[in-house]
Structure 1
Amino acid sequence: MSGPLQHIRILDFTTLLPGPYATMMLADMGADVLRVESPSRLDLVRVMPPHDRGVATAHSYLNRGKRSLALDLKQQECVETVKALVRDYDVVVEQFRPGVMDRLGVGYATLREINPRLIYCAITGYGQTGPYRLRAGHDINYLALAGVASYSGRAEGGPPPLGIQVADVAGGSHHAVMGILAAIIHRQQSGEGQFVDVSMTDAAFSLNAMAGAAALGADHQPGPESDVLNGGSFYDYYRTADNRWLAVGSLEPQFMQELCKTLGCPELASKGLSPKPEHQQQLKQTLRERFAEQPLEHWQHVFADREACVEPVLTLREASEHPQLTSRDMVIEVDRGDGEKQRQLGHPIKFSETPCQSRFAGRVLGADNESVLQELEEHKSK
C-alpha cells in the first residue's frame, strides 16, 4: 500500500454516491478503507446498470480499493463488532439521516468514548441542524435550494438536469474529504478527534462562488442567460454543421482577437470585449452562423494551434481517448478480482513522492468478513 494516507484507517458506512466517492478518493490516496454494509439492505449502486460481467460498473468504481464487511447493525453482536473495530480506526464516515447511527448504538457520542481520537464525518443532505435536517432529498433538490439551478440553463427552457451530480460529488464528497483531512491535521497537533458535519446543500450553496459573491455583496440576482459566464454573453456552446458542439471561452482580449481573426471577422473583437448586451448578442449571432457552416472536425483542425480558447464538446468515449487525459493517467486499468482488468477513471491528484494507487475494483458484499473478524480476534488476544 502506498499513498500519503497509508497509515489512516477508515470505517465506511456510506452507500450510493457521495460517501463512497469520498472514501474511494481516500482509498486511492492509500487509506485502509473497510466498508461496512448491511447484508439485508442492499446498496442500490451494487445493482445499478450497466454491468460488466454481472457487476455494476458504478459499484466497481466507487468502491475500489475497499474491503467489504457485511454486518447487520440491528443485531447487538454486530454493534459490538463495530465498537471493537473502532478502537483501531482513525475515521468513521456515514451517510444516514441525523440520529440513525445513534439509534443503532454506534453514533459519535458512543464511539468517541471508546476512541477519543476518532474523527467522525457525517454526510447528509441538509446537515445535522436546521429545520430540514430530517428531510429527504437528492442532488437536484440540493441544487434547487442552494440557488444554483436558478441561474443555470436557458431562459426559455429552465434549469437543466445536469449530467453530473454536482451537490453529491463536488459538494458532499469533496467537502467530506477536505473536512476529514483537516481534522486529521488538527488531531496530529492536538491529539483530539472531532465530528465533521457535511451538508450537501451547504456545500452546493458555497459553490455559488462568483454569482453568490455578487448576490450577497451587491444584491445582483442572476437569472438564466443573464451574465457573462452563464450564457448571457458569447461565452457559450455553438452547434456545428454536423450537429456537434464547440465550447467558446475567449474571454481575455488576446483570445477574443484571435477568435475573430480566425473566423475572418476581426472587426467584431471589440463587440466581444464590450459589456453591452446588444454587442454580445451581435457577436453571438455571427458565431452561430460561422460555426454552423462546417463540421466539428473542420473546426478542430482550424483551432488546433490557435490560442483562442475554443474546444470541442467531446463524448465520454472521446474524452477517455483524448491525449491530454490519457497522458495524465486519467484512464486506468483496475484488477477486477477475476484475473481480468476493468478500465476506470483515474485519480485526479498527482503526488510526486506518494502516488495514488487504485488497487482493486469494488468487492463482493462481505468478501472480507472472515479476514477482518480474524484480525479482530487476534488483536483481542494480544
Structure 2
Amino acid sequence: MGALTGLKILDFSTLLPGPYATLMLADLGAEVLKISSPTKGDIVANYPPFIEDSRLSANQAWLGRNKKNIFLNLKSEKAIDIVKKLIEEYDIVVEQFRPGVMKRLGLDYETLKKINPRLIYCSLTGYGQTGPMKNNAGHDINYLARSGNMSYSGRKSTGPVLTNMQIADIGVGSLHSVVGILAAVNYRNTTGKGQYIDVAMFDGLIPFHAMEGASFLATGVESKREETRLNGGSMYDFYETKDNRYLSVGSLEPKFWKNFCECIDLQNLIEKTVMPENVSEIKEIIKNRLKEKTLNEWMDIFKGKDVCVEPVLNMREALIEDEQIKAREMVVEVKVPNTDNLKIKQMGSPIKLSECPVNYSEGGYPLGYHTKEVLVEMGYTEKEINELFKDEII
C-alpha cells in the first residue's frame, strides 16, 4: 500500500511539468490515468533516444512510470462523454492547457464539479488563470527572465547564463502542483469539498528571490551581478583546477572559511573573511592557487575536512558512480513493459517514507497503450470500442 493509495488522478498534461508532478504522485501510490491525443504528439514523450527493441523513449519510460495511459480525441463529444464518466471515479484532474481551452472542450472545473462535487482540479500554466499575460506562451527561460531572477544572475562580463535545468518547470510547476493537490486532498478529507487549484510557474519564481527579494522590498536597493554573497560577490563560487575541472566552494561560515584557507595553505586570508572588501583581488589569489592542482588532488586534500567544497561532477560520475546517490537510491532499475525482464536505469523519487516506501513497479508504457483496457473496465463493448476507433475518437 502506497502513501497515496486511493487517490485517482486524470492527467491531461504534456511536456515536463505536469507529467513529472503526476509521476511523483504515482510513485507514492496514486492511480494515474494519462489522457493523450491520438493525433498530436508530445515532444517530450517522443523525444529520443528510444529504448532498444521497444517503442518507448527514455523520457516516456520515466515520466510514464507507474501510470496507465489512453488516447482520446477531446474534440469529439463521445470522448468528452468518456471523460465525464471517468470523473465519477477519478476525482483529481491535472491539466496544462492555456486558460480557456478546457472550458471550450466542456471539461472545465465548473462543469465537471457538477458531476463530482469532491473534484480537485489543478490547472498548471505559465502565467496563471488571471492577469494580462494569462494567455502568453512561455518556457523556463522566459519565466526566469521576467521574474527578475536573471537580472543579478550570471557574470558582469556575460550577463545571464543558461543552466540547462528546468527550474520553473520542475522546481515550481511540478512541485507546487503536488503541494497544492495534497493540500486540497487534506481539505477534502476534513470538509468533503473539492476545489480548484491555479498554479503558475511564473508565480513560483518570485519567492526564488529569497533573501535578495526580501531585502529589496524592504530597502529598494537592487542586487547586481557579482555583488551579493551568493552570486559571485564573495568567495562562494566555482573555481577551475589544473586539469580544467571545477570545484564548488561554499565556505560561507567562518569555521568553513578558516578550514578552507588552511587546506589551500592561504592562512593569511582567514581574517579577510569570505566576503572581503577587495573581492576580485582575493578571488584571483584563490583562482591561481586552485589551478595548481588537479580536481582529484584537491579532493584528497579536502577529504574529511569541514569545508563545504565539492567537485563539479559530470553525469556519469554523478548518476552512475557517486556513492551518495547510490546510497540514497536516486538511480533505480525499472522493468520495461512488454519485454523479457529488460530493465533500465531511471531517476528515482526523492521522497523517502519509512512505512510505505516508493514502489517502482514498471516503467511507462507507450502512449495510448491502455485505451481498450480502460474502456472495457468502464463497460464499453467490443463493438462500441471498434466504432470509437473507426471514428478516430480513440
Say if 1:166 and 1:63 are closer, same or farther in 2 by CA, change over 3 A.
same
Q: Which residue of 1 aligns with 2:352?
A: 350
The amino acid that maps onto 1:105 is G
1:330 aligns with 2:298: no
1:249 aligns with 2:255: no
Quote the Cα distance in structure 2 between the aligned partners of 1:281 and 1:45. 42
| Residues 25 and 178 in structure 2, CA contact (< 8 A), matched pair in contact too | yes
Quote the Cα distance in structure 1 between the aligned partners of 2:175 and 2:217. 24
| Residues 234 and 281 in structure 1, CA contact (< 8 A), matched pair in contact too | no
Quote the Cα distance in structure 1 between the aligned partners of 2:61 and 2:329. 18
The amino acid that maps onto 1:181 is L
Q: Which residue of 2 aligns with 1:300?
A: 299
SS at match of 1:347: coil
Quote the Cα distance in structure 1 between the aligned partners of 2:185 and 2:50. 36
Following superposition, the deviation at residue 101 of structure 1 comes to 0.6
Quote the Cα distance in structure 2 between the aligned partners of 1:352 and 1:237. 36
Structure 1 residues without counterparts, runs of 5 or longer: none
Q: Which residue of 2 aligns with 1:192?
A: 193
RMSD: 1.2
SS at match of 1:195: strand
The amino acid that maps onto 1:35 is K
SS at match of 2:34: strand
The amino acid that maps onto 2:296 is E
The amino acid that maps onto 1:23 is T
1:308-334: per-residue Cα shift (whole Å, max 9, x none)? Answer: 111100011111121111001001011
The amino acid that maps onto 1:46 is A
Following superposition, the deviation at residue 335 of structure 1 comes to 1.2
Superposition map of 1:35-114 within 5 A:
35-53=34-52, 54-114=55-115
1:155-184: per-residue Cα shift (whole Å, max 9, x none)? Answer: 111111112110111011110000000000
Quote the Cα distance in structure 2 between the aligned partners of 1:300 and 1:50. 34
| Residues 330 and 347 in structure 1, CA contact (< 8 A), matched pair in contact too | yes
| Residues 67 and 363 in structure 1, CA contact (< 8 A), matched pair in contact too | yes
Quote the Cα distance in structure 2 between the aligned partners of 1:49 and 1:212. 39
1:85-126: per-residue Cα shift (whole Å, max 9, x none)? Answer: 001112100000001011111111111000000000000000
Quote the Cα distance in structure 2 between the aligned partners of 1:191 and 1:223. 49
More moved, 74-83 vs 352-361: 352-361
Structure 2 residues without counterparts, runs of 5 or longer: 381-394
Following superposition, the deviation at residue 28 of structure 1 comes to 0.6
Quote the Cα distance in structure 2 between the aligned partners of 1:369 and 1:49. 24
**Percent identical residues:** 47
Q: Which residue of 2 aligns with 1:290?
A: 289
Q: Which residue of 2 aligns with 1:166?
A: 167
The amino acid that maps onto 2:329 is D
The amino acid that maps onto 1:203 is G
Q: Which residue of 2 aligns with 1:341?
A: 343
Quote the Cα distance in structure 2 between the aligned partners of 1:277 and 1:190. 57
Following superposition, the deviation at residue 205 of structure 1 comes to 1.5
Quote the Cα distance in structure 1 between the aligned partners of 2:236 and 2:375. 57
The count of aligned residue pairs is 375
Following superposition, the deviation at residue 7 of structure 1 comes to 1.0
| Residues 234 and 276 in structure 2, CA contact (< 8 A), matched pair in contact too | no
| Residues 334 and 363 in structure 2, CA contact (< 8 A), matched pair in contact too | yes
Quote the Cα distance in structure 1 between the aligned partners of 2:276 and 2:248. 21
Quote the Cα distance in structure 2 between the aligned partners of 1:131 and 1:369. 38
Following superposition, the deviation at residue 344 of structure 1 comes to 0.6
Q: Which residue of 2 aligns with 1:23?
A: 22
Q: Which residue of 2 aligns with 1:156?
A: 157
Q: Which residue of 1 aligns with 2:214?
A: 213
Quote the Cα distance in structure 2 between the aligned partners of 1:207 and 1:26. 24
TM-score relative to the length of structure 2: 0.93
1:137 aligns with 2:170: no
Quote the Cα distance in structure 2 between the aligned partners of 1:272 and 1:286. 14
1:126 aligns with 2:144: no
More moved, 55-64 vs 25-34: 55-64
1:184-224: per-residue Cα shift (whole Å, max 9, x none)? Answer: 00001111100000000001112221221112122231122
SS at match of 1:261: helix
TM-score relative to the length of structure 1: 0.96
Q: Which residue of 1 aligns with 2:203?
A: 202
| Residues 13 and 94 in structure 2, CA contact (< 8 A), matched pair in contact too | yes
Post-superposition, which runs of at least 4 consecutive aligned residues in structure 1 deviate over 3 A?
Answer: none
Quote the Cα distance in structure 2 between the aligned partners of 1:259 and 1:105. 62
Quote the Cα distance in structure 2 between the aligned partners of 1:240 and 1:298. 9
SS at match of 2:122: strand
SS at match of 2:114: helix
Quote the Cα distance in structure 2 between the aligned partners of 1:30 and 1:242. 46
| Residues 36 and 367 in structure 2, CA contact (< 8 A), matched pair in contact too | yes
SS at match of 2:305: coil
| Residues 272 and 283 in structure 1, CA contact (< 8 A), matched pair in contact too | no
Following superposition, the deviation at residue 3 of structure 1 comes to 1.9
| Residues 238 and 246 in structure 2, CA contact (< 8 A), matched pair in contact too | yes
The amino acid that maps onto 1:113 is K
SS at match of 1:67: strand
More moved, 234-243 vs 51-60: 51-60
Q: Which residue of 1 aligns with 2:370?
A: 368
The amino acid that maps onto 1:41 is K
1:22-69: per-residue Cα shift (whole Å, max 9, x none)? Answer: 000110111000000010111111221232225321222122111011
